[in-house]
């Protein structure tokens, strides 16, 4: 039918147009996340990405100076998404239920780590940049993502449920524990059905140790 032909031609033109209006960057990032999830960071190739998205192999250069720049952008987007997930976990609990919030955030973190294990590894890979220094933008995004955890600790301290003290330090141990559980799962040293129990233990230990410190 004529209308079908017309509309399909229109769609084609629109798609072509979109790439000329700044959407190639998003398309590349979206596809890159899929590839990482399916086959890992090592299998991520700029040329294949360009092919998948229907553009020449040199086109990504407009948006990402090199492969490292693409990885940095992925890490940045990853921290934004992780931050949203942690915040959503935090908001699942009732406002005064600090223990519940701590557990919900921990579970949200591990869920993210399971679903996007390779992306998380990339996010924590550090040494973004040729000379081995930490990318300041990514570092800031990471700290922002963990904001809900710190707020939680400060709130609990205000409510006298946790002893006063540097929330960064108290929270860092807890964060390390959760992150470590995710790593052990990824390595196969912990099975999927053990994870929930370990996360519960970690949250309980976090609260218990805080009380212990207080005594």
Q: Is 111 in the site for its own copies (CB under 8 A)?
A: no
Q: Write the interaction track for DNA spanning residues 6-45; mark x where CB under 7 A is met and - where it is not.
A: -------------xxxx-x-------------------xx
Which part of the chain contacts DNA (CB under 7 A), choosing from 1-9, 53-61, 73-81, 98-106? 53-61
Residues ≥6 apart with Cβ < 8 Å to 44:
32, 35, 36, 67, 70, 71
Of its own copies, DNA, none, which one does residue 180 interact with (CB within 5 to 8 Å by kind)?
its own copies
Joined tokens for residue 111:
């869920």
Residue 196 makes contact with DNA by CB under 7 A: no
- Please, what's the b/e burial string for 122-136 (b: 16 or more CB within 10 A of its CB; e: otherwise)? bbeeeebeeeeeebe
Q: Is residue 9 involved in binding its own copies (CB under 8 A)? A: no
Considering only residues 67 through 86, tell me which ones interact with its own copies, judged by CB under 8 A: none
Torsion of the alpha carbons at 64, 67, 68 and 70, rounded to the nearest 10: 50
Question: 15 or 204, CB closer to DNA?
Answer: 15
Nearer to its own copies, 27 or 141 (CB): 141
Q: Determine if 95 is a binding residue for its own copies (CB under 8 A).
A: no
Q: 143-167 b/e with 16+ CB inside 10 Å = b?
A: eebbebbbebbebbbeeebbeeeeb
| Distance, CA of 74 to CA of 207 (rounded, Å) | 34
* DSSP per-residue letters across 76-144: HHHHHHHHHHHHHHHHHS-TT-HHHHHHHHHHHHHHHHHHTHHHHHHHT----STTSPPPHHHHHHHHH
Pick the binder of DNA from 29, 41, 59, 172 (CB under 7 A). 59
Residue 20 interacts, among DNA, its own copies, none and using kind-specific CB cut-offs from 5 to 8 Å, with DNA
Q: Which is nearer to DNA, 26 or 91 (by Cβ)?
A: 26
Q: Which range touches its own copies (CB under 8 A), out of 8-16, 24-32, 54-62, 205-213? A: 205-213
**Chain residues in the site for DNA (CB under 7 A):** 19-22, 24, 44-48, 50, 55-59, 61-63, 65-68
């Amino acid at each position: 039918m004529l209308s079908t032909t017309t509309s399909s031609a229109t769609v084609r033109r629109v798609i072509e147009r979109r790439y000329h209006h700044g959407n190639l960057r998003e398309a590349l990032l979206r596809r890159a996340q899929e590839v990482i999830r399916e086959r890992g960071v090592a299998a991520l190739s700029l040329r294949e990405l360009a092919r998948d998205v229907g553009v020449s192999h040199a086109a990504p250069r407009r948006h990402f100076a090199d492969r490292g720049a693409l990885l940095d952008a992925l890490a940045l987007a990853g921290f934004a998404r992780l931050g949203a997930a942690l915040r959503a976990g935090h908001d699942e609990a009732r406002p005064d239920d600090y223990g519940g919030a701590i557990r919900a955030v921990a579970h949200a973190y591990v869920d993210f780590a399971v679903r996007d294990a390779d992306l998380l590894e990339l996010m924590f890979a550090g040494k973004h940049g040729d000379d081995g220094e930490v990318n300041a933008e990514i570092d800031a995004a990471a700290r922002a993502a963990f904001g809900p955890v710190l707020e939680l600790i400060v709130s609990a301290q205000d409510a006298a449920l946790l002893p006063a003290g540097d929330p960064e330090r108290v929270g860092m141990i807890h964060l390390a524990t959760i992150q470590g559980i995710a790593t052990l799962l990824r390595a196969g040293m912990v099975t999927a059905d053990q994870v929930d129990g370990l996360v519960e233990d970690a949250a309980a230990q976090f609260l218990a140790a805080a009380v212990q410190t207080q005594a």
